[in-house]
Amino acid sequence: MVEWTQQERSIIAGIFANLNYEDIGPKALARCLIVYPWTQRYFGAYGDLSTPDAIKGNAKIAAHGVKVLHGLDRAVKNMDNINEAYSELSVLHSDKLHVDPDNFRILGDCLTVVIAANLGDAFTVETQCAFQKFLAVVVFALGRKYH
Ligand code: HEM
């Protein structure tokens, strides 16, 4: 079981309490698709992804970016039982969507970049440590139902 310090808990809660989901979610997913283009293969039904501008202006991608970010709320609200919180989403991404689980880490990295750019100096080393740990636990939980 993962142990969280009070400081880690308050940093994670603080990041999400101040997060603009409609801004950060689309930016993180768009970066993922642009910087790591093989991740586009799962979004074939989303329309034009042919250029970085097309991806950044794609409303379906933007909406899905918001949805993914809200998917992380589940972990924030269940810090002591993240595996259980993600068991259904893990099955979905593995059995139904066949998303390569390496991509979870990649998306997490893109999210880190976007949040860091947004927070500027407030994204301290302590903030990055707590957020990185949080993402590692989420990525592990999402990968649990792969077989
Ligand atoms: C932080 C990691 C991730 C979280 C929290 C997450 C969360 C979610 C959520 C909440 C949904 C909607 C499920 C539903 O409709 O019931 C979803 C669907 C989906 N996810 Fe993820 N996801 C993550 C990573 C990824 C990655 C890395 C990819 C591919 C590169 C991906 C591809 C998809 C696709 C293709 C769908 C279905 C979209 C659709 O139905 O239009 N996800 N994800």
Q: What is the CATH number of the domain that holds 137?
A: 1.10.490.10
In a domain, 42, yes or no: yes
Q: What token pair was written down for 120?
A: 């500027």
In a domain, 69, yes or no: yes
For a pocket test of ligand 1, which of 93, 111, 142 has the largest count of ligand atoms closer than 8 A to its C-beta?
93
| pLDDT per position as a tens digit, 112-125 | 999 999 999 999 99
CA of residue 97 to ligand 1 center, whole Å: 8
| pLDDT per position as a tens digit, 63-99 | 999 999 999 999 999 999 999 999 999 999 999 999 9
CA of residue 108 to ligand 1 center, whole Å: 12
Q: What's the complex ipTM?
A: 0.96
Average pLDDT, integer, range 27-44: 98
Q: What percent of the chain lies above the pLDDT cut of 70?
A: 100
Q: Please give the helix or strand (H or E) that residue 131 lies within, else none.
A: helix 125-142
In a domain, 119, yes or no: yes
For ligand 1, is residue 91 a contact (CB within 6 Å)?
A: no
Task: Check the annotation: does 46 bind a ligand.
Answer: yes
CA of residue 23 to ligand 1 center, whole Å: 18
What per-residue confidence (pLDDT) applies to 1?
77
C-alpha to C-alpha distance for 11 and 40, rounded to whole angstroms: 32
Q: CB neighbours (10 Å) of residue 17?
A: 9
Q: How many domains are contained in the chain? A: 1
CB of 107 closer than 8 Å to CB of 29: yes
Domain range for 116 = 6-143
Helix (H, G, I), strand (E, B) or coil at 46: helix
Distance of CA 29 to the CA centre of its chain: 8
In a domain, 1, yes or no: no
